[in-house]
């Protein structure tokens, strides 16, 4: 979970196959609970969801290093996909608040871990742990 600047609560929900299952599958969902939802006691809204037939969906320990919301409401989050052949891909994904679509901004092998922060303009700064590099991904 993470909080937006306006106090809205965002979270990632996932289901997946077992780690050693030969046929990997996964489900990923991003949701939001607004301040008015909290006051009224109503449920949050699913912003995006997808079922994957060919990959398991794994996450990291919760924290702002792996899940963040920009001032414009765009969400950035990291998930790991485990494929049927046993390979892993780490993905930095962007949920565009205006279009409701998800795009991969960065995909790496599992051996290259990273974390990120978001500046006030919505640009991302990504720290690649293995190489020690910091890259900037400009908004728009």
Give this prediction's pTM.
0.84
Q: What percent of the chain has pLDDT over 70?
A: 93
Both tokens assigned to 37:
């939802």
CA atoms in the 13 A half-sphere facing the CB of 129:
11
Q: Specify the residue for token string 């303009």.
A: 121
| Model pLDDT for residues 17-63, shown as the tens digit of each residue | 998 898 999 999 999 999 889 889 888 899 999 999 999 998 765 55
> Taking the C-alpha atoms of 1, 68, 104 and 43 in order, what is their torsion angle to the nearest 10 degrees?
40
The number of domains in the chain is: 1
Per-residue pLDDT averaged across 111-122, rounded? 81
* Parent domain of 63: 2-137
């Amino acid at each position: 979970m993470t909080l937006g600047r306006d106090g809205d609560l965002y979270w990632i929900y996932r289901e997946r196959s077992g780690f050693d299952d030969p046929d990997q599958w996964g489900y990923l969902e991003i949701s939001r609970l607004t301040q008015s939802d909290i006051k009224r006691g109503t449920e949050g809204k699913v912003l995006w969801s997808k079922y994957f037939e060919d990959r398991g969906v794994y996450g990291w320990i919760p924290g702002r290093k792996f899940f963040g919301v920009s001032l414009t409401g765009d969400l950035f989050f990291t998930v790991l996909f485990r494929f049927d052949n046993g390979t892993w891909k780490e993905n930095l994904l962007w949920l565009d608040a205006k279009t409701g679509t998800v795009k991969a901004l960065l995909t790496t092998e599992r051996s290259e871990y990273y974390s990120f922060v978001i500046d006030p303009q919505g640009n991302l700064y990504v720290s690649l742990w293995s190489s020690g590099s910091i890259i900037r991904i400009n908004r728009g």
